[in-house]
Amino acid sequence: MTFRSETSAIPSIVLNDGNVIPQLGFGVFLVPDDEAFPVVTAALEAGYRSIDTAAIYGNEEGTGRAIRESGLPRDEVYVTSKVWNSEQGFDSTLRAFDASMARLGLDYLDLYLVHWPVPAADRYVDTFRALQALKTQGRVRSIGVSNFTAEHLSRVIAETGEIPAVNQIELHPRLAQRELREFHAGHAIATEAWGPLGQGTLLDDRTIASIAAAVDRTPAQVIIRWHLQLGNIVIPKSVTPSRIAENFDVFGFELSRDQMAAINALDTGTRVGDDPNTFSQGLDV
């Protein structure tokens, strides 16, 4: 297997705990377990060094095997997973973590996230306390949350005394999350963008297409570049090797201030995913 050597081109983000995460990573939502091995292998070959999975994706085994069998040193691949809603609570989160690690076949995680807040269940603070315990034990390097609003973040910070390192949220040009990004910046929480391409829905947008033509790049590359220039951590997903490589080839050009502004103007506050205040799949509330 051959690996591109220019991975040093990937910028890093320093988290509030001092650990460092690659700014561009690879997501594996909706990749079946038996496809995760070739797909994650293709991503590592293309140069990605950060992989984002989750227990609910059902592909931790294939993902972990691709990472282990890549031959890359463990500390050169950044691995994220997430505790699913049905496992929320202190003890159940500890058990869910063990199960994820057994499937991944790894000794530690770089980042473990509370997947959704599920505020009606009121267990996310205890769930985050379990993540704190795992960090203290050295089984996880950094801990964070996903789909949390400023209100959920404030409660976690007030009740645990710890500021999550990362909040992974739906974020793309039609949902730019300006206010939440400002809240994050004020608390040294890193913003990680899921659905960064609007799950594909933004790729035929006319503004994006015209900017892509102007810079001689593809629409996906323009959107990923917009994320990087905003300072987001970004984890696009594709199962197609040519697109996996295309989405990584985003360090050789820059968007101008006017092009950034034109993309910023696409923000209509429109979600492609679920509402963090009400989403409760997997948990009876």
Residues with a catalytic annotation lie at 57
Q: Which is nearer to ligand NAD, 136 or 279 (CB)?
A: 279
Stretch that binds ligand NAD, among 4-12, 95-103, 188-196, 225-233 (CB under 6 A): 188-196
Q: Which of 246, 259, 263, 266 binds ligand NAD (CB under 6 A)?
A: 246
185: left (phi over 0), alpha (psi -120 to 50) or beta: alpha
Give the sheet arrangement for strand 190-194, strand by strand.
26-27, 50-52, 78-83, 109-114, 140-146, 166-170, 190-194, 233-234
Q: Quick check: 189 and 214 in contact, CB under 8 A?
A: no
Q: Quick check: 144 and 113 in contact, CB under 8 A?
A: yes
The DSSP bridge pattern shows strands 12-14 and 20-22 to be antiparallel
Other CB atoms within 10 Å distance of the CB of residue 11: 12
Taking CB under 6 A as the criterion, which residues in 132-161 touch ligand NAD? 146-147
Cα–Cα distance for residue pair 20/12, rounded to 1 Å: 6
The type of residue at 238 is: S
CB of 248 to ligand NAD, least distance (A): 10
Q: Quick check: 24 and 248 in contact, CB under 8 A?
A: yes
CB of 156 to ligand NAD, least distance (A): 16
Q: Which of 55, 85, 195, 248 binds ligand NAD (CB under 6 A)?
A: 195
259 is an interface residue for ligand NAD by CB under 6 A:
no
CB of 203 to ligand NAD, least distance (A): 5
Taking CB under 6 A as the criterion, which residues in 167-186 touch ligand NAD? 168
Q: Which of 21, 131, 165, 220 binds ligand NAD (CB under 6 A)?
A: 220
Q: Which of 97, 183, 194, 248 binds ligand NAD (CB under 6 A)?
A: 194
Q: Which is nearer to ligand NAD, 24 or 130 (CB)?
A: 24
Taking CB under 6 A as the criterion, which residues in 55-84 touch ligand NAD? none
Instruction: Give which of 192, 191, 211 is closest to 202, Cα–Cα.
Output: 211
Cα–Cα distance for residue pair 41/87, rounded to 1 Å: 29
Cα–Cα distance for residue pair 61/66, rounded to 1 Å: 9
Count each helix (H run) and each strand (E run) in the chain, helices first.
Answer: 10, 10
28 is an interface residue for ligand NAD by CB under 6 A:
yes
CB of 80 to ligand NAD, least distance (A): 8
Q: Which is nearer to ligand NAD, 91 or 151 (CB)?
A: 151
Both tokens assigned to 137: 């034990």
119 is an interface residue for ligand NAD by CB under 6 A:
no
Q: Which is nearer to ligand NAD, 137 or 240 (CB)?
A: 240
Query: What is the number of the residue whose Cβ is closest to ligand NAD?
Result: 27
Cα–Cα distance for residue pair 33/50, rounded to 1 Å: 18
- 192: helix, strand or coil: strand
Binding site for ligand NAD (CB under 6 A): 27-29, 52, 115, 146-147, 168, 194-200, 203, 218, 220, 235-238, 243, 246-247, 273
